Amino acid sequence: MELDLATALADARTEYDKMVAGDWYRYRSGPELAELTTSTQRTCRRITALYDDDRPAAGALFRELLGTVGEGVDFRPPFYLDYGHRLHLGDRTFVNAEFLTLGGGEIRIGADVLIGPSVRLYTPTHVLDPELRQQGWERVSPITIEDGVWLGGSVVVCPGVTIGARSVVGAGSVVTKDVPPDVVVAGNPARVVRSLLPEG
């Protein structure tokens, strides 16, 4: 959906409320957005600093920061989030170092997911018009990673993508559209290269 500037400018909601609703908003406006991202990024740095000396305290802070965290979740810092409360992790999921999420789109990651190092999950889409883009107009779309998925190192997942259960995304891939369950995808853009289901 393209930006209708007149409608967007007439919208009296806060930029945060528009963001959460998935509508066009200006990420450079609204003090609540800057405050949230600054606070989240500060907490990410605190967790990294604590991790070696007091892992239980780092883990407790990690659980406070995120929207929901399942049992047995494990992670390796550093990691970088814009809005911690918009990220949800299922049971026994592992997040490797240099994990990054951008934007305020909701990200739901299921149980038993393996996230390789330097994985990037991008939820925002900027407006195409260059003048409006300079004004900070964007909208966010959710990302869903279902149970048992393995994301290889340096994978990029684009806004609005769902990765089906038990699928594998090869290292360095850029996922621009939904991935069905039980497949291996690889490349830029990522394409199905094989099925994981038994033949016959």
* CA–CA separation, 28 and 53 (whole Å): 36
The active-site residue out of 85, 92, 126, 191 is: 126
**β-bridge partners, 120:** 100, 156
Residue that the structure tokens 């966010």 belong to: 140
Q: Is 85 a catalytic residue?
A: no
Strands of the sheet containing 162-163, edge to edge, are 68-69, 87-89, 107-109, 143-145, 162-163
- Residue 9: burial class (beta carbons within 10 Å; 0-12, 13-18, 19+): exposed
Known catalytic residues? 126
